[in-house]
Structure 1
């Protein structure tokens, strides 16, 4: 066992891990943050996407020992400290951009990061940014609409929701 230190959603955790454990497993099993979903466990579907030092990362492919001292944001850390929803979460709700919800956390994390990088995206840019996340239920139209709505909301409010 190796002890690592992670800052997850602004809170520091000291966790003993085995060298073979994945970040997704540590988040879910050791820290109880079950919003990070495991779908394909091969880095293809994007359901396990978290922000790792400010960048989207597949937690199902990331060895926990390799992220000692890292800052991680999971879907549980996306909402504001007062509990209000992040604009991307609000837009997903308003646009009915989820059905079964399994892929939603990965889409939310990817979209939130993308909008911090590109606050005025075209629909094509949104589609490209989300192309690494898979959904079996929605057909993507509502998801693209939600990201477009979130971008407009963030611009209107003059907000940058830096989640890194």
Structure 2
């Protein structure tokens, strides 16, 4: 893997040329995010400093696209990598072999990955501010699973991990 300064230089070149999708593909290769169910990137509206939206789209069992803002690489690389990793978790969840049908479970798994990088260990840590934000989002989806539900029980140990992480950041 190239060094972070080298990666940033390459990403900035892609960005200057308006080749955001190619920058994303480069990062997928550099950070071990490849998935056989990933079809490619397509664009969506520009991100704002307070709102960056990426989505994974495609029918379950079919190849998935990730929609990312054309200006994605105007934001910190660690944040964008974590957001792409989140979407790649969804790519896995929507593959024929690994279907996770419950949206709350899908989102819990994706936010958990952003905090602990168990599927994609090469993804860098993001800021404590973003970790707290991602943890809050994870807790939202955990709550939506239903108090005492089978899904909440399934993820109770992970919830404790997230709570301990948040406590360590405070």
TM-score, scaled relative to structure 2 = 0.36
Higher strand share: 1
Which is bigger in relative contact order (C-alpha 8 A, separation at least 6)? 1
TM-score, scaled relative to structure 1 = 0.37
